[in-house]
């Protein structure tokens, strides 16, 4: 069954708002067994909305349209839909009562424009929206059309609670597409594909497929399988998942679309009842932030010191002034001292550090932009630094530094001998 998605809003076209709705809807519809054949992003212009809606309904079995249902003058989606179907507007009393109750609770006067949010085309089946003031709408006109608010959490609520059931009523058990994500780090896409995993085509049967999704943080493997039920689709991926783990085990840090390297490191620290702290210069708190993104990280993350200036490096971390003068802040010596200094200062089992030239300026012939030193210290254990040469892009350099240092930490905690990207330990 074919589906098309229409996102309405000038803010999407000029880049003020990122169109996350379309990507989410694509995943959601695909998971229900639909083939998404087209995604439109269009302006708040009446005739264009009508034209694209008409085309989409002619070309697909179901259309999901988001945006343009607010109370302001540029929210004209309902008007466009009503004109397309040649109907007038009606007042939905349930929606109006809900809007009035919300405004009363918040002690806000109800304006004429808010009142109009309870009006819908006469042929619409109202999809009651407990997540906001704009109702969703369901139409059966030359196919099926869902018209939803553009606010992401309202759209998702209505798709999950209202539209998914309507789709199953209309199309029956369409089937399921199950996607499974395997997260890797410390290896490039080509090496992972050609040298580590090799040819896996023998496992791509019965609707099973795989894609490589590279990013500055690593390579994610997305495995897809379809089936009559979700469990059947899951079962079809088991053999391929097992083979990937056998071949690339040391590079895999976890599974799940949103699973992070900091979660993997945190779990290993919890298993040992260890604490970690960070001393950051060029990453400016990015690593501390990624630790604290994880609920419960206080069990293993005690804190950090953002030592952006040499003054802080000396006075808070005990870095040698003579080393700063002789070899500079971006050096093995300083990275080592920062890692040990923060572990001792905060009394943690592990200390890690970053110091480098993130760019776009500040580089020299000896130390070009992208030169990064990272330190690693374990109380009573190993103490070393690693050097990397990244890009001229500041944000990419920060992201890669974070990933390499966290992957290094993961491998040290798991006892894996190799370093990410074949980096070499540089001991004091």
Q: How is the chain split into domains, by residue range? A: 2-171, 176-255, 261-422
What class does CATH assign to 2-171?
A: alpha beta
For domain 261-422, the question of CATH label 3.90.950.20 is answered with yes
Q: Are 390 and 372 in contact (CB under 8 A)?
A: yes
CATH among 3.40.50.1100, 2.60.120.380, 3.30.70.2860, 3.40.50.720 for 176-255: 3.30.70.2860
Confidence (pLDDT) at 39 = 97
Confidence (pLDDT) at 265 = 98
User: What distance in Å separates the CA atoms of residue 49 and residue 52, rounded to the nearest whole number?
Assistant: 5
DSSP character string of 159-197: IIIIIHHHHHHHH----EEEEEEEEE-SS-HHIIIIIII
Residue 69, burial from CB neighbour count under 10 angstroms (0-12, 13-18, 19+): buried
For tokens 């098309």, what's the residue? 4
What residues form DSSP beta bridges with 130? none
Q: Are 316 and 338 in contact (CB under 8 A)?
A: no
User: What distance in Å separates the CA atoms of residue 259 and residue 221, rounded to the nearest whole number?
Assistant: 13
**Tokens linked to 223:** 């495995």
Strands (E), 58-151: 62-66, 89-91, 119-121, 125-127, 136-140, 144-148
First-last CA distance in the chain: 63
For every one of its 428 residues, what pLDDT tens digit does the chain have, with 9 covering 90 and above?
899 999 999 999 999 999 999 999 998 998 888 889 999 999 999 999 999 999 999 999 999 999 999 877 778 999 999 999 999 999 989 988 988 888 888 888 877 777 788 899 999 999 999 888 889 999 998 899 999 999 999 999 999 999 999 998 998 877 778 889 999 999 989 999 999 999 999 999 988 999 999 988 889 999 999 888 888 989 999 999 999 999 999 999 999 999 999 999 999 999 999 999 999 999 999 999 999 999 999 999 999 999 999 999 999 999 999 999 999 999 999 999 999 999 999 999 999 999 999 999 999 999 999 999 999 999 999 999 999 999 999 999 999 999 999 999 999 999 998 888 778 889 88
**Tokens linked to 21:** 């709705």
DSSP state of 121: E
**Tokens linked to 208:** 């099973």
Q: Are 395 and 251 in contact (CB under 8 A)?
A: no
User: What distance in Å separates the CA atoms of residue 76 and residue 48, rounded to the nearest whole number?
Assistant: 11
């Amino acid at each position: 069954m074919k589906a098309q998605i229409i996102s309405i809003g000038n803010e999407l076209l000029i880049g003020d708002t990122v169109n996350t709705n379309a990507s989410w809807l694509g995943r959601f519809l695909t998971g229900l067994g639909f083939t998404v054949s087209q995604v439109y992003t269009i302006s708040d212009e009446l005739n264009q909305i009508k034209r694209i809606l008409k085309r989409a309904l002619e070309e697909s079995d179901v259309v999901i349209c988001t945006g343009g249902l607010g109370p302001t003058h540029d929210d004209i989606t309902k008007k466009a839909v009503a004109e397309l179907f040649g109907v007038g507007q009606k007042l939905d009393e349930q929606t109006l009562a809900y809007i009035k109750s919300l405004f009363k609770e918040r002690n806000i006067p109800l304006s004429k424009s808010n009142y109009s949010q309870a009006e819908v085309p006469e042929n619409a089946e109202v999809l009651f929206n407990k997540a906001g003031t704009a109702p969703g709408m369901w139409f059966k006109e030359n196919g099926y059309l869902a018209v939803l608010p553009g606010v992401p959490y309202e759209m998702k609520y209505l798709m999950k609670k209202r539209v998914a059931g309507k789709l199953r009523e209309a199309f029956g058990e369409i089937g399921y597409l199950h996607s499974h994500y395997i997260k890797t780090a410390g290896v490039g896409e080509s090496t992972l594909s050609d040298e580590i995993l090799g040819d896996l085509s023998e496992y791509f049967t019965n609707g099973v497929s795989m894609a490589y999704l590279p990013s500055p943080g690593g390579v994610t493997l997305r495995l897809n399988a379809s089936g009559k039920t979700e469990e059947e689709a899951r079962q079809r991926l088991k053999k391929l998942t097992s083979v990937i783990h056998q071949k690339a085990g040391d590079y895999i840090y976890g599974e799940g679309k949103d699973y992070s390297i900091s979660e993997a490191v945190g779990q290993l620290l919890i298993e040992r009842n260890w604490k970690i702290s960070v001393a950051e210069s060029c990453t400016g708190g990015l690593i501390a932030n990624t630790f604290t993104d994880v609920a419960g990280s206080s069990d293993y993350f005690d804190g950090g010191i953002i030592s952006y200036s040499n003054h802080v490096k000396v006075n808070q971390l005990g870095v040698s002034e003579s080393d700063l003068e002789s070899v500079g802040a971006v050096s093995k010596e300083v990275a080592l001292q920062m890692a040990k200094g923060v572990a001792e200062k905060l009394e943690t089992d592990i200390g890690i550090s970053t110091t480098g030239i993130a760019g776009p300026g500040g580089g020299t012939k000896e130390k070009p932009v992208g030169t990064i030193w990272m330190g690693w210290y374990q109380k009573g254990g190993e103490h070393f630094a690693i050097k990397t040469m990244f890009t001229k892009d500041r944000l990419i350099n920060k992201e890669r530094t974070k990933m390499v240092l966290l992957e290094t930490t993961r491998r040290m905690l798991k006892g894996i001998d190799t370093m990410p990207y074949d980096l070499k330990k540089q001991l004091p």
